[in-house]
Structure 1
């Protein structure tokens, strides 16, 4: 991560996001209907604030007529009778803003949402790919304008300075270290303080950032609080707090940009295969393999489609990765739609692990790479939650000793486990000719049985299961399993002691039963359950 002095951030301010959203929606409906529509009246959104219905946002037509956010709806209708007022929908606005931020990842993977109408992009080290910071800023605002969105932008060394300039001085590109001079003419509202603090500053004659930038910080903090000092430092470039990106940053990226939108799906898949080979070459140079990958298709109309794929073991084989995404794309319930064409296709590694190169001898036994590949292909085709395996848990209770999890999260071939130093957490298997001490499979839930025992704590003489009476010929046990007392610390009941018996009836069928509760100590009437069958 670059230091604060070399970091370059671009900010986009969307002042009419709510009304732009409504206009875009109506434009889409008009395109699907025949005939010309009359011109729209000025559009505003309304919300209840300070016990009155006030304008939350206005479109360009309403702004030209003198309407502005904060004005009461009654005053607005008195000035412009023929306005259209729509209730504000903050959730829909936030969804659109997140979609715009996701689309902005075509320029840089580090994109964050700031407030209800701002987007911050970390363009450090990538602006030269687009002709420089000024050209990049122009490209952003022009592309958004082409989709019906009003956007203003600026570039500075801190996010707060860039956002403030985008709001009050759009189009500015501030060189490193010039933030203090650039923000000096801005009003104190650029600090983002509450209305009471802004009025107090104005009452003291401090109406511009430059008026307070040179004041002693201790006096400002004592009078207005530390928030003012912190935000002032951010505006002037003296501090740059961390920013949380909208999506996790990829580890490695390979992408292809097109001079004209490309709408052929077969070409898109071929490009994805080329990117897979490029990406695996990068992984090989770093001695790593990818565990999670993501393909992103950026359409020219602003839509972004992301397709993720995971692997059971670290992977850096380009052919296997291309085949994995081919299976993943063919299994999509909602197929890819190029629309008006793709501008950018990107393939990213979102999680990677060390993967050392190995050399097998001519007499080496086949490893589990084929099984790893099978797990990946089935997970891509059917979904990772439908391809599962059992993982061991640290519990003596038989039904809690294993849990079913997606295979890609826990699966490792024998050689892969050796390379990554993963311990095998299952008990060592018994000899091939040794008798089974427990059934290989258990019932989903123990089934109650009726038993007759010679003594209360002895093995059963006969039992009835599913209305069939079984006479016991032989019995082994008990295998006592005490309850997990530590579960009581979480407020759960720890359960009762279990005594397991391996029994065989007169017809040679073998069962695994247990008695729940020790007689006389935990209960006066122990119950019996059948937990599994021996083959």
Structure 2
């Protein structure tokens, strides 16, 4: 079943015909100002849409004409469409002056179709709008009844009887087709209902028969809702309007509990909630909150909306109160039962997820970002910032928040083959070890590792904790430096960075990281060194390019600082 709100004939309903002159809206069309909308007073006195303003003034000199404002009209129609969602979530715009509502399965909430259309027809005039509404089996029949018939409800299967006396304009045909039909004496739809179809389609086009079939229900016609349909919806109507925060909070908790049961039956959790509050004067307030993981706990949902209300610049304007509240779930995701401990509490990252959700509700989810690992051992490419929704999908079973990707074969660290990151080994040292006397050593692959003797170690491990093998401050892009090494493959002896000279007292390395073989770029192998200068400052340097194999002039870069 479909409902249709027709043209808004005039900005407001005329209250006093004797004192108020006819009101019309004019716009320039066909080189003249013409009437595009008019109130009931102007209609009764013989004016009509499309009439030239000069002709209208000749009939009624005291006419009140205002210029059309399509932008404001579109905004007003959108606001009315928001309000009309109190009847059904499936609301579509119909041209520039109408709405189409799919009320299938909704009429019983209002006591029936007749009661629904009566409620709609009573509320709009109370807000100052002159409008007509009708219900029929098909969009085409509802459109025709609302604009060209006196009935507000077409009985099931009664579309044919409705269309018989109506003009062809009721079929939503173009003006040139209506004019062509009129020239051959065809003025009413009933004249062609039983006529041969082929000659009519050949002379007046296929659109004539398509519109007729749509109105009669022979051809399917779907409406295009202006807002996506939510997966789950729970709503509450109030006998008396509410406006207190406690009442709104209690309503949210009750609706969230209803949705939680439905989500649990589906084995899903909500990734987003949307609250719609319908004021008695027609204003609709919408608030949405997102979650970093699927949730359905009513207490958590209520906490998110509490944060949302607290973040509003102005207090929620309840006006004369809200007579309806709706909580919907636009986005869902599978939600498996959480493992619980002996105390009955869920274990895992629930607390972190709730914190992220509350921050997102307060400042906006688009402002909450998280670091996720990427499949690369090149430090500047090994992680990326992303929003919380993308971060949740980016994590695989083998990763955790903020964790490093597992070792892969495309990177090598001398002393720890197969990894560009440190992973603890039984030897107790994450770094390539050289000779204790500081001389170079050759590993099984024939690669040279040159490490100065350290006593004590530069980065000691306390109580078997993992040593700090990455700088606390990692530069977004490595900065070039001028460095000098004793041998081409050895650690630097001193380097110049930002016009300052640093003499190295101790160093560890190299940690070799090779670029991904599948990337078609000019990256070269890097040898990283952790160094400390004579004053105690510690740096993370690397030499780019293997001497004699990739380049004859390796370049040095500073990639970060420790502390």
Q: TM-score with structure 2 length normalisation? A: 0.78
SS of the equivalent of 2:84 reads: helix
Task: Map 1:100-139 to 2 at 5 A.
Answer: 100-139=80-119
Among 479, 500, 504, the residue aligned to 2:526: 500
Q: Given the superposition, is the C-alpha separation of residues 430 and 204 from structure 1 closer, same or farther in structure 2, using an over 3 Å criterion?
A: farther
Asked if structure 2 preserves the Cα contact closer than 8 Å seen for 1:296 and 1:346, the reply is yes
1-side partners of 2:357 and 2:472: how far apart? 26
Unmatched tracts of structure 1, length 5 or more? 1-7, 28-37, 487-493
1:5 alignment counterpart: none
1:478-535 Cα deviation digits (max 9, x unpaired): 644379867xxxxxxx6x4355342325336444456789999999999765333346
Asked if structure 1 preserves the Cα contact closer than 8 Å seen for 2:236 and 2:326, the reply is yes
Residue 467 (structure 1) shift:
2.9
SS of the equivalent of 1:345 reads: strand
Q: Given the superposition, is the C-alpha separation of residues 95 and 454 from structure 1 closer, same or farther in structure 2, using an over 3 Å criterion?
A: farther
1:84-132 Cα deviation digits (max 9, x unpaired): 3322111211111111111111111111111111111111112112121
Among 344, 369, 382, the residue aligned to 2:363: 382
Among 468, 475, 489, the residue aligned to 2:500: 468
Asked if structure 2 preserves the Cα contact closer than 8 Å seen for 1:511 and 1:534, the reply is yes
Task: Map 1:519-534 to 2 at 5 A.
Answer: 529-534=557-562
1:331-363 Cα deviation digits (max 9, x unpaired): 222321110111101111112223243553539
2:269 alignment counterpart: 289
Task: Map 1:89-168 to 2 at 5 A.
Answer: 89-168=69-148
Asked if structure 2 preserves the Cα contact closer than 8 Å seen for 1:255 and 1:344, the reply is yes
SS of the equivalent of 2:192 reads: helix
1-side partners of 2:222 and 2:110: how far apart? 25
2:438 alignment counterpart: none
Asked if structure 2 preserves the Cα contact closer than 8 Å seen for 1:255 and 1:346, the reply is yes
Residue 187 (structure 1) shift:
1.1
Residue 149 (structure 1) shift:
0.9
Provide the aligned C-alpha RMSD in A.
3.7
1-side partners of 2:551 and 2:203: how far apart? 70
Residue 167 (structure 1) shift:
0.9
Q: Given the superposition, is the C-alpha separation of residues 369 and 204 from structure 1 closer, same or farther in structure 2, using an over 3 Å criterion?
A: same
2-side partners of 1:215 and 1:309: how far apart? 57
Asked if structure 1 preserves the Cα contact closer than 8 Å seen for 2:280 and 2:322, the reply is yes
1:447-501 Cα deviation digits (max 9, x unpaired): 4545567899997664332332224565636644379867xxxxxxx6x435534
Q: TM-score with structure 1 length normalisation? A: 0.82
2-side partners of 1:278 and 1:338: how far apart? 24
Q: Given the superposition, is the C-alpha separation of residues 160 and 444 from structure 1 closer, same or farther in structure 2, using an over 3 Å criterion?
A: farther
2-side partners of 1:333 and 1:182: how far apart? 52
Residue 297 (structure 1) shift:
0.4
2-side partners of 1:44 and 1:397: how far apart? 70
1-side partners of 2:57 and 2:493: how far apart? 90
- How many residues in Structure 1 have an aligned counterpart in Structure 2? 501
Residue 69 (structure 1) shift:
2.1
Residue 219 (structure 1) shift:
3.4
1:233-291 Cα deviation digits (max 9, x unpaired): 11111122222212111222221111232233322222222222222122223332212
2:66 alignment counterpart: 86
Moved more, 451-460 or 224-233: 451-460
Q: Which has the larger radius of gyration?
A: 2
Asked if structure 1 preserves the Cα contact closer than 8 Å seen for 2:271 and 2:332, the reply is yes
2:451 alignment counterpart: none
State yes or no: 1:183 paired with 2:163: yes
SS of the equivalent of 2:218 reads: coil
SS of the equivalent of 1:213 reads: coil
1:443 alignment counterpart: 475
1:9-67 Cα deviation digits (max 9, x unpaired): 111113326x33xx89xx9xxxxxxxxxx965433222221122222222333333333
1-side partners of 2:212 and 2:196: how far apart? 12
1:3 alignment counterpart: none
Moved more, 92-101 or 202-211: 202-211
Task: Map 1:260-275 to 2 at 5 A.
Answer: 260-275=240-255
1:349 alignment counterpart: 329
2:347 alignment counterpart: 366
State yes or no: 1:334 paired with 2:314: yes
2-side partners of 1:13 and 1:422: how far apart? 57
Asked if structure 2 preserves the Cα contact closer than 8 Å seen for 1:389 and 1:407, the reply is yes
Moved more, 360-369 or 294-303: 360-369
1-side partners of 2:545 and 2:143: how far apart? 68
Unmatched tracts of structure 2, length 5 or more? 407-420, 432-467
1:42 alignment counterpart: 22
2:284 alignment counterpart: 304
2-side partners of 1:139 and 1:365: how far apart? 48
Residue 441 (structure 1) shift:
5.0
1-side partners of 2:139 and 2:75: how far apart? 22
Moved more, 456-465 or 126-135: 456-465
Residue 426 (structure 1) shift:
5.2
Higher relative contact order (CA 8 A, sep 6+): 1
2-side partners of 1:522 and 1:141: how far apart? 81
1:13 alignment counterpart: 6
2-side partners of 1:170 and 1:392: how far apart? 66
Q: Given the superposition, is the C-alpha separation of residues 395 and 216 from structure 1 closer, same or farther in structure 2, using an over 3 Å criterion?
A: farther
Larger helix proportion, structure 1 or 2?
Answer: 1
SS of the equivalent of 2:82 reads: helix
